[in-house]
Structure 1
Amino acid sequence: MPVLMRARSREEAHRAATPLELFFDLCFVVAIAQAGRQLVHALAEGHPGHGIVGYLMLFFAIWLAWLNFSWFSSAYDTDDALYRVVTLVQISGVLILAAGVPRAFGAGDFRVVWFGYLVMRLALVSQWLRAAHGTRGTERSTALRYALGVTLCQVGWLALLFLPPGDAPWVFLVMGALELSVPVIAELPRQTSWHPHHIAERYGLFTIIVLGETVSAATVAVQSALDEHHDLGTLLPIAAGGLLLVFAAYWIYFAVPIHLHLRSNRQAFLWGYGHYLVFCSAAAIGAGIEIAVEQSSGRAHLPAYAAAACVTVPGALYMFTVWLIHSRHQKRGPAQQLVLPVSAGLILAGTFAGPAAVPVAGLVAAATVAVGVTLTARQGTALEEE
């Protein structure tokens, strides 16, 4: 007999991600890899408009699926048998979604993606209905609002199946706005009891997974180029610069304890939604490194500066977005506040370095970490002296 699903306490000590949550996150690697691979193919073949728009849409679908589960589990994870089975059903939906990414990207056929979402959404709605059954009053009202909102949005996504493929971006804009409004409306009666430390850890773990996929994609690209007997002297700077950029991305994200900032939905919604750009740009760095490798080996049909922009634009976007929604809340003084925005500008300017853009971006990112560590150490020394 399953237990009643009760909200977990926000004050719960030592709350950490569960093995099931880690397994759930790892299954998203497949979908992220598929989206990145399609972006690389589109850019390498000289179709940047189609590639970027398609990547932004499909990454939104991937991110939204992860978002829905993560915030629910932070508030209502009972970890009993029924909860685990329903979560495994959601994972099945993620894998169906991943299988449909190439078809959606290339031909605008979203049927498999939509069906994967249907599987995930039916499971998620059942979880919210179970939460409503185990609660009462405003908490029950919040759970029912979530169940209704998620159901209506899933019906709304049917527009992707009946409208021409060219209308897909507009469908994503409208439905994306409606999806993001569901938590805002649902939690008007009462805020769900998501756990600040737990949700911060969940976002941190997903950041690691995305950066890991970036490293994997770049490694495969370099290996493929080497197998075709391309010059190691050309590939080594790209590989080293890309690695420095990814290492710095990791360091910068985890330099601050963000859970102290997440006091209510007012902070959490902006922080949580803003991570779409953090995750999206982090994954795109790997695709950009692949493009740089392919361009250096003559397999990409785009100019050197365009190939450079495939790395510098997502790299700069990552630095700026991490500062805007994440790091600036823990920075003190203008010097610390300016480090990441200036770094973003310098990485973007590195586009004009052409073939040397990746090592330049890597060196700028490494210097950013060094400056940040130095400023933090000096601030700590000054506070001790006071």
Structure 2
Amino acid sequence: MSEFGSQLRLELRHRIRPMAGRDPAERGRTTTPLELLYDLTYVVAFAAAADQLAEQLGHGVIWPALGAYVFAVWAVSWAWLNFTWFASAYGNDDVLFRVATIVQMIGVIVLTYGLPVSFEAAAHGESPNNLLMVIGYVIMRVPLIVLWLRAASEDPDHRRNAISYVLIISAAQLGWLLTAVIPLAAGVTVVCLVVLALAEMVAPVIATERYGFSPWNPGHVAERFALLTLITIGEVIAGTTSAVGTLTQESGWSVEAVLIASSGLVIAAAVWWTYFLVPSRLVLEEKPERTFGWRYAHLALFGSIAAIGAGLHLTTIAMEKGGVSLLGIALALTVPLATTIAIIFLVWSVLMRSFDLSHLPLLLVTFAPLVAAVVVGAASHPGEPLDLETPGSLTALSAVTGLVALGAVIEVVGHELLGYRHTLRAWQKGTAEASV
């Protein structure tokens, strides 16, 4: 058979194929259409979590809403990470793998239906975990258990590692189910959820140290995380579109409306620009052992980026329903953006295994406009809900969003000026220390 015929067979015939493991050293491996389809369900999940956060903040519920949001983002992101880890090692794109992936997508949607219940429960002092979310989680992860069992059967070189993942995921699922059905005090349940989450993250590290790595591809993993980051940044664009659409319906197009629209898009572009100044693929292909800490840092990053979208959605709620001060909007925008910038620095630090203190002045300069945005929010009609009919309110809102965008731009410019030299210096220092 010709090379073209072999490629055509691979592309068009998805019969049962051996699941013997991919080549972890393969360079240039890219994301498959199936993985891209799978990621689309996470657009819905992140959007739902961000919308629920904004709705609760609009009602004045802060800490319970943040707790439910952290739980939701962790649950969604962790399930995604588990699938991505497996697919990088064993994604053979045969019919069984495709069907198992599609079933997991159904689970993501079911879990998403449970998010409103989770946020409402948290607002009333109850556990954010609920049976509907657990059912969705089970649908997401039982197919993954089956896939790991298949890998254990067909890849004897990595069988012990695969079986360890089967046991870890199965035990975790039992734990999540029990916390949803056993009537415990809310505080006790929350403690159990935290312990379960930490155990799920720690157990794979221990299993890998004991049984070795599965044959995942570091370059492929880097691309997959980058793509989910892009999807999450889409929440910022969606939030901007919603806020500006509401503003123009209320007051028509104006200079302030254009500034707010531009600021939202600049924030999204700046987060994208900053993230991709971290050379994840280049470094992980050379130092794959750094992947574990690097991937865990992304769990917080996905949540902080989506929270920027929640802040923009809160702006929409403030204009449509009232009840939210400009200070509340300023905090809802500046806190997640500042957190995002700090986490990207953490991702860089974990990746390079270097904590470069010379980044701190740049962080301080970046945060200065964010602090100014909060000051403007606090000074503009303090204690009163945002009302576009009040003179100066629209100008103050545009000033807040403009200052937030300015902070994001300063971060990009600073990294463009300093990032290359700092990253090269950190790499050379680490290489020199390793050779000693």
TM-score of the pair, normalised by structure 1: 0.90
Q: What secondary structure is seen at the aligned counterpart in 2 of 1:326?
A: helix
Paired amino acid for 1:125: I
The structural deviation recorded for 1:201 is 0.4
Q: Please list the CA deviations of residues 335-367 of structure 1 after superposition, one character each: whole Å capped at 9, or x if unmatched.
A: 963465335532542322314332101012112
Equivalences for residues 152-231 of structure 1 within 5 A? 152-158=171-177, 159-164=179-184, 166-167=186-187, 168-187=189-208, 188-229=210-251
Q: Is 1:304 the counterpart of 2:347 in the alignment? A: no
Q: Is 1:134 the counterpart of 2:154 in the alignment? A: yes
Q: Is 1:150 the counterpart of 2:169 in the alignment? A: yes
Paired amino acid for 1:261: V
Distance 2:129 2:301 in 1: 27
Identity of aligned residues (%): 34
Distance 2:343 2:199 in 1: 23
| 1:239 corresponding residue in structure 2 | 261
Distance 2:113 2:321 in 1: 26
Between 142-151 and 159-168, the greater mean CA deviation after superposition: 159-168
Match for residue 35 of structure 2 among 21, 40, 44: 21
| 1:124 corresponding residue in structure 2 | 144
Does structure 1 retain, via aligned residues, the 8 Å contact 2:242–2:316?
Answer: no
Q: Is 1:258 the counterpart of 2:280 in the alignment? A: yes
Distance 1:328 1:120 in 2: 29
| 1:53 corresponding residue in structure 2 | 67
CA 1:344/1:56 → structure 2, altered by over 3 Å: closer, same or farther? farther
CA 1:233/1:330 → structure 2, altered by over 3 Å: closer, same or farther? same
Does structure 1 retain, via aligned residues, the 8 Å contact 2:311–2:333?
Answer: yes
The structural deviation recorded for 1:330 is 6.2
Does structure 2 retain, via aligned residues, the 8 Å contact 1:312–1:357?
Answer: no
Distance 1:309 1:38 in 2: 17
Gaps of 5+ in 1: 381-386
TM-score of the pair, normalised by structure 2: 0.80
Q: Is 1:359 the counterpart of 2:399 in the alignment? A: no
The structural deviation recorded for 1:320 is 0.8
| 2:291 corresponding residue in structure 1 | 268
Distance 1:134 1:122 in 2: 19
Does structure 2 retain, via aligned residues, the 8 Å contact 1:319–1:340?
Answer: no
The structural deviation recorded for 1:221 is 2.6
Does structure 1 retain, via aligned residues, the 8 Å contact 2:244–2:257?
Answer: yes
Does structure 2 retain, via aligned residues, the 8 Å contact 1:40–1:291?
Answer: yes
The structural deviation recorded for 1:230 is 6.2
Aligned residues: 379
The structural deviation recorded for 1:109 is 6.2
RMSD: 2.7
Q: Please list the CA deviations of residues 95-153 of structure 1 after superposition, one character each: whole Å capped at 9, or x if unmatched.
A: 1111221122223461111001111111000010000001225x101100100110000
| 1:383 corresponding residue in structure 2 | none
Does structure 2 retain, via aligned residues, the 8 Å contact 1:53–1:169?
Answer: no
Between 157-166 and 272-281, the greater mean CA deviation after superposition: 157-166
Does structure 2 retain, via aligned residues, the 8 Å contact 1:328–1:337?
Answer: no
